[in-house]
Structure 1
């Protein structure tokens, strides 16, 4: 059962990476459409805002995938110098701190999303989109990051690191 959960979580992180790539492609498409529209003399409302929303979505969806793949800045140079028992203690301590902070971030991004939804807050840009719509991807991405950090913490505690 534990292996099944582990495999499904790894699939979630990979899917999150694919979503990040998709949103990066959307950023490029919106920018190219914006450039083309200026060349051909017409204006499409909100393209700059939409590319910004997609960039935020790409960033947050990429966080978990990058964390699992070891792409974030880590303290490995410091940990390499420590003895094995002290290294394990430091790694667990760092994962506890990361779990707390990523949980805190996720909690408040979800809270912000719910407040924006309750008040039906709109963006200040030309598109006046309901702001909870782009905030949803940011909140989901932060939740996936929290799950990834917690997952790594549990694997480290159980000595089941890959």
Structure 2
């Protein structure tokens, strides 16, 4: 059962990475459309806002994939100098602190999105998008990141490697 949970969570992190790539391509398309529209003498409203929303979504969906793939900056220079038991304890402590902080991040981004839905907030841009729409991708990305960090903490405590 634990192997199946690990497999499903790994697929979630990889899927989150693909979503990040999709939104990064969307940023490129919005910017290129904005540039080419100016060259040809017309203007499409809201492209700068949409590229910003896509960049935020890309950043937060990429968090879990890069953490899973060990691409985040880590303190291995410090950890590799420790003895095996101290290294494991330091790693568990770091993952515990990261779990708390990522949990706060996920909680407050989700709360912010809920409040935006409740009050029907709109963006200040030209097109007045309901702001919960881009906020939901940030909230979802931060929730997946929290799950990823917590998953790493549990596996570290159990002495299992994820990847």
Note whether the superposition's TM-score is higher than 0.5: yes
* Equivalent in the alignment of 1:93: 93
Q: What does the per-residue CA deviation read over 1:57-107, in whole Å, with 9 as the maximum and x for residues that have no partner?
A: 000000000000011111111000011111111000000000000000000
Note the residue ranges of structure 2 that are not aligned, 5 or more in a row.
none
* Equivalent in the alignment of 2:120: 120
The count of corresponding residues between Structure 1 and Structure 2 is 162
Q: 2:159 aligned with 1:143, yes or no?
A: no
Q: How far is the alpha carbon of 1:126 from its aligned partner?
A: 1.1
Question: Residues 1-162 of structure 1 correspond to what in structure 2 (within 5 A)?
Answer: 1-161=1-161, 162=163
Tell me the secondary structure at the aligned position of residue 149 of structure 1. helix
Q: What TM-score do the two structures reach when normalised by structure 1?
A: 0.99
C-alpha distance in 1 between matches for 2:54 and 2:128: 16
Q: What TM-score do the two structures reach when normalised by structure 2?
A: 0.98
- RMSD between aligned residues: 0.5
Tell me the secondary structure at the aligned position of residue 72 of structure 2. coil
Note the residue ranges of structure 1 that are not aligned, 5 or more in a row.
none
